[in-house]
């Protein structure tokens, strides 16, 4: 019984009972036996929804009760606030909770007072780099969804971060929560942890394949779901779940598809199933929800979503704004939305169980693979694990779809009877090590090559590799790169080579930049003075030109496409650049015009900006644009004959152009159309651009050879990105609640600055804000106006005066 659990703050056991936790689930029981509430490290590899969070809570609360401090690492930013809210119910027992999101380059000092801190692995990594003082005080760290160490992009950060935390705090209790994977024992070995592995689930999961007129389940049972001629298989299955009542309610479904577009079209189609089955009351509530979605954003995506939601169907993908994603999740949990069509991102995160999960697409387009690639077993099992709502459904059903007998066989073999794959570390790849080696040296975790290698010995990679030399080999390549770009200094006297980060190296590490991004930016920023001096001279100057020297890393399986290893051409002496500068360092050199597009392109071609792909026709469009705007680019434009580099350049130009549209006040829905992205993507690009420009500004100030005017240009380009406006609106858009559209309307009404807002005729302000009084009042207040009230300008002044 939870109330008999010892070592927790007084009252926690009773509170758990009040929540409906009458007894621990078997995996939780096993975790307690393994000592999770007594400070023991533990790997819990158990299915979704079998109570992993409580295992983590037992560890954290008992650790705090012993006077410690806990860190909970979430896999997605969207989950951080969700977890924080969940843990905040312990505040009545004196446990404080803080979530760390937002800017990378801070040390989050205020978190020192919190008992539980929630953050992503990137954020924790950055806090360590910035010397957050409370890192030393941690006694318990939880890593949620630790199987993501397998992810080529984000896995290495989690791996290195855990290794650092454990190195700083040798007695640190490490609790890793994992989906069921093929090699949980290796993860446990890596973390010196006890292992609890289980297939137990609080409610039964039946997995099957639908083909023809029935679902065949792996347990040998069968359910007739006949599909009429011309009828859609998915629609039939969704209808079947809704028409099968348990406790007087039909069952909801979650449909997994392989692309955003498919999620949208599936949701639209399924309105035919959900719409006619709604009650009047549900219809009213859904209409309200749809209005909220529409009024939040005027994009096509939002309006398509609202149209579907009105009929009880929704789509869910990373292109949605986070507010809308949360709305959809909540309404689904409240059983208002009957069916969600989602991309696989939904499977990884939030708690949205359904009676029936339908895995419609089990293959997904993979650029590197060059075609449709089957999903991993682990991924499909996680999707299926979303089936079955405890307390609501008698069991969960997960159904894969086949349209011929052979596929049905294949699906059984591949997914229903198969075990999930083992996870494999992706650390020994250049992009990952480039950034982590620099940070490890800069934050003092290693000061020699040997020390670095022995630090890397604490990673999962070292635990599972049988190629001892590989990590050292990649590390050496990366050290060369970092030294050539002046981020570290190496000193080879005596036994082990010593390593120190340079001033810029420290800055780059703290800014959380990929060193390759920093090198690209520094080079581009310096090129301004150079170009000004060159004016019309030799285009062949190889100063700072990057040359691809080989492919990133083949063994790592799946790194970002298109990144090779760049080193400076013929620049084995860092003195060379300075020599070059000397020639050009004449007083009369005028800085050439630095435009926003040039800066946006510069940051867009760094590996920290994830790219937009070129679609058909784009190559021509952007090649043309490339020549038209050639003088604006910072650095040398690759030749059209360098296929891969040129293509990358154009893809970055597409991103830069999107950003330029944003700051030229192009409507969001126009942007989504023009670039084939969702409103959530615009937000993502804008946030990334803002961060990178902030970093660029710091670099421009700190490195030698960058003109002062360039610093100013970077700052302005960044501010315009922040608000999405032309220069003349910067002042206005900075007022809270104004935003890009309202700023433009105010400007057109003759109110051009914050100061104007304080003086302006209220009726004009109200007119520009389309009569929204509350908004107008808030804006005036934020602009510092003494009498923001709109009472005196109400159009029906006399009527309201009579009423009061």
Residues of this chain that bind ligand ADP (CB under 6 A): 20-21, 24-25, 28, 48-54, 351, 390
In the complex with ligand ADP, which residue's Cβ is closer, 20 or 371? Answer: 20
Contact 683, 321 (CB under 8 A): yes
Please, which residue, 42 or 289, has the CB nearer to ligand ADP? 42
Of 75 and 788, nearer to ligand ADP (C-beta) is 75
Q: How far is the CB of 380 from ligand ADP (least distance, A)?
A: 16
- Residue whose CB is less far from ligand ADP, 20 or 171: 20
187 vs 402, which CB is nearer to ligand ADP? 187
Residue 189 Cβ vs ligand ADP, minimum distance, rounded to whole Å: 22
Quote the least distance from Cβ 151 to ligand ADP, whole Å.
Answer: 19
Q: How many CB atoms lie within 10 A of CB 506?
A: 20
Query: Shortest gap between Cβ of 20 and ligand ADP (angstroms)?
Result: 5
Q: Which is nearer to ligand ADP, 54 or 780 (CB)?
A: 54
Q: Is the dihedral of CA 548, 549, 550, 551 positive or negative?
A: negative
In terms of CB distance, is 54 or 117 closer to ligand ADP? Answer: 54
Closer by beta carbon to ligand ADP, 149 or else 751:
149
Rounded-to-integer distance, Cα 221 and Cα 217, Å? 5
Share of the chain residues as helix, strand and coil, in percent rounded to the nearest 5? 50, 10, 35
Instruction: Pick the closer one to ligand ADP by CB: 21 or 214.
Output: 21
Query: How far apart are alpha carbons 399 and 761 in whole angstroms?
Result: 63
Tokens of 401: 């779809």
| Cα four-point dihedral sign 529, 531, 534, 540 | positive
CB of 204 to ligand ADP, least distance (A): 15
Minimum separation from the CB atom of position 177 to ligand ADP (A): 7
Which lies closer to ligand ADP via its Cβ, residue 118 or residue 710? 118
Which residue's CB is nearer to ligand ADP, number 28 or number 252? 28
- The answer to whether residues 43 and 178 touch, using CB atoms and an 8 Å cutoff, is yes
Q: Is 607 exposed, middle or buried (0-12, 13-18, 19+ CB in 10 A)?
A: buried
The two beta strands, 488-491 and 498-501, are antiparallel
Phi/psi of residue 466, each to 5°? -115, 10
CB of 47 to ligand ADP, least distance (A): 7
Q: Minimum distance between the CB of residue 143 and ligand ADP, rounded to whole angstroms? A: 13
Cβ atoms of 524 and 602 within 8 Å: the answer is yes
51 vs 250 by CB, closer to ligand ADP: 51
Q: What is the spatial distance between Cα 146 and Cα 144, in angstroms, rounded to a whole number?
A: 5
Nearer to ligand ADP, 24 or 653 (CB): 24
Q: Least distance (Å) from ligand ADP to the CB of residue 433?
A: 32
State phi, psi for 762 to the nearest 5 degrees: -60, -35
C-alpha dihedral over 517, 519, 520, 522, to 10 degrees? 120
Tokens of 656: 């830069």
For residue 683, the cross-strand partners are none
CB of 229 to ligand ADP, least distance (A): 40
Residues 366 and 258: beta-carbon distance below 8 Å:
no
For the bound state, the minimum distance from the C-beta of residue 115 to ligand ADP, rounded and expressed in Å, comes to 20
What is the smallest separation between the CB atom of 392 and ligand ADP, expressed in angstroms? Answer: 11
Q: Which segments of 164-310 are extended strands (E)?
A: 173-178, 194-197, 205-211, 214-217, 222-224, 253-256
Q: How far is CA 253 from CA 202, 309, 382, 612, in A?
A: 19, 14, 15, 32
- φ/ψ of residue 589, rounded to 5: -60, 125
Can you list the pairs that 77-82 forms with residues at least 24 positions away whose Cβ atoms lie under 8 Å?
77/101, 77/120, 78/322, 78/325, 78/349, 78/350, 79/144, 79/349, 79/350, 80/118, 80/119, 80/120, 82/350
The closest of 616, 516, 622, 625 to 568, measured between CA atoms, is 516
Rounded Cα distance, 201 and 406, in Å:
31
Q: Please state the closest distance from residue 383 (CB atom) to ligand ADP, in A.
A: 13
């Amino acid at each position: 019984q939870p109330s008999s659990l010892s070592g927790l703050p007084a009252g926690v056991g009773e509170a758990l009972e009040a929540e409906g936790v009458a007894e621990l689930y078997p995996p939780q029981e096993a975790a307690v036996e393994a000592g999770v509430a007594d400070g023991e490290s533990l790997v819990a590899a158990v299915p979704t929804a079998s109570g992993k969070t409580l295992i983590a809570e037992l560890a954290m609360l008992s650790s705090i009760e012993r006077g410690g401090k806990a860190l909970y690492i979430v896999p997605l930013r969207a989950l951080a606030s969700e977890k924080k809210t969940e843990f905040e119910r312990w505040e009545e027992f004196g446990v404080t909770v803080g979530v760390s999101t937002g800017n990378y380059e801070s040390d989050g000092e205020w978190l020192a007072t919190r008992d539980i801190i929630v953050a992503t692995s990137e954020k924790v990594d950055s806090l360590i780099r910035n010397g957050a003082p409370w890192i030393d005080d941690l006694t318990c760290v939880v890593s949620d969804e630790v199987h993501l160490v397998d992810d080529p992009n984000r896995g290495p950060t989690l791996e290195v971060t855990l290794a650092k935390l454990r190195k700083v705090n040798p007695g640190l209790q490490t609790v890793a929560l994992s989906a069921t994977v093929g090699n949980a024992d290796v993860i446990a070995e890596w973390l010196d942890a006890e292992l609890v592995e289980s297939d137990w689930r609080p409610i039964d999961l039946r997995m099957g394949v639908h083909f023809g007129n029935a679902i065949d389940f792996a347990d040998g049972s069968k359910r007739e779901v006949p599909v009429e001629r011309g009828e859609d298989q998915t629609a039939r299955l969704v209808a079947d779940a809704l028409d099968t009542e348990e406790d007087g309610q039909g069952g909801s479904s979650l449909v997994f598809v392989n692309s955003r577009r498919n999620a949208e079209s599936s949701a639209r189609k399924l309105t035919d199933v959900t719409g006619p089955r709604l009650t009047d009351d549900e219809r009213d509530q859904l209409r309200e929800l749809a209005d909220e979605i529409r009024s939040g954003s005027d994009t096509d995506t939002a309006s398509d979503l609202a149209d579907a939601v009105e009929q009880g169907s929704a789509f869910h993908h990373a292109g949605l704004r986070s507010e809308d994603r949360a709305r959809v999740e909540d309404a689904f949990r409240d059983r208002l939305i009957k069916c969600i069509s989602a991309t696989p991102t939904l499977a990884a995160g939030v708690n949205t169980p359904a009676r029936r999960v339908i895995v419609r697409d089990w293959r997904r387009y993979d650029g590197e693979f060059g075609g449709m690639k089957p999903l991993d077993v682990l991924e499909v099992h996680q999707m299926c694990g979303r089936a079955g709502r405890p307390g609501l459904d008698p069991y969960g059903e997960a159904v894969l779809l086949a349209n011929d007998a052979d596929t049905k066989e294949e699906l059984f073999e591949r997914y229903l009877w198969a075990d999930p794959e083992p996870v494999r570390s992706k650390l020994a790849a250049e992009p990952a090590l480039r950034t982590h080696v620099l940070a490890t040296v800069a934050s003092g975790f290693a000061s020699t090559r040997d020390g670095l290698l022995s630090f890397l010995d604490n990673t999962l990679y070292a635990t599972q590799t049988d190629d001892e030399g590989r990590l050292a080999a990649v590390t050496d390549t990366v050290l060369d790169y970092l030294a050539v770009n002046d981020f570290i200094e190496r000193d080879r006297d005596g036994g082990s080579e010593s390593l120190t980060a340079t001033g810029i190296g420290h800055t780059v590490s703290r800014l959380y930049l990929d060193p390759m991004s920093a090198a690209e930016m520094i080079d581009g920023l310096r090129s301004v003075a150079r170009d000004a001096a060159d004016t019309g001279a030799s285009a062949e100057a190889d100063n700072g030109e990057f040359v691809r020297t080989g492919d990133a890393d083949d063994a790592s399986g799946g790194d970002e496409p298109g990144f090779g290893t760049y080193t400076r051409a013929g620049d084995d002496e860092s003195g060379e650049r300075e020599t070059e500068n000397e020639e050009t360092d004449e007083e009369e050199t005028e800085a050439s015009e630095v435009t926003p597009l040039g800066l946006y392109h510069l940051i867009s071609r760094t590996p920290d900006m994830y790219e937009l792909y070129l679609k058909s026709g784009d190559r021509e469009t952007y090649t043309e644009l490339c020549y038209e705007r050639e003088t604006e680019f910072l650095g040398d434009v690759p030749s059209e004959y360098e296929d891969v580099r040129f293509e990358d350049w154009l893809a970055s130009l597409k991103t830069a152009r999107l950003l330029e549209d944003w700051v030229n006040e192009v409507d969001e829905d126009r942007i989504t159309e023009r670039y084939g992205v969702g409103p959530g993507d615009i937000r993502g690009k804008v946030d990334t651009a803002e961060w990178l420009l902030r970093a660029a500004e710091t670099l421009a100030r700190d490195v030698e050879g960058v003109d002062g005017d360039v610093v100013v240009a970077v700052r302005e380009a960044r501010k315009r990105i922040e608000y999405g406006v032309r220069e003349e609106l910067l002042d206005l858009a900075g007022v809270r609640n104004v935003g890009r559209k309202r700023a433009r309307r105010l400007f057109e009404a003759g109110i051009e600055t914050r100061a104007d807002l304080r003086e302006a005729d209220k009726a004009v302000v109200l007119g520009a804000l389309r009569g929204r009084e509350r908004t107008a009042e808030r804006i005036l207040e934020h602009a510092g106006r003494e009498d923001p009230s709109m009472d005196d300008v109400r159009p029906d002044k006399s009527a309201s005066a009579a009423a009061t």
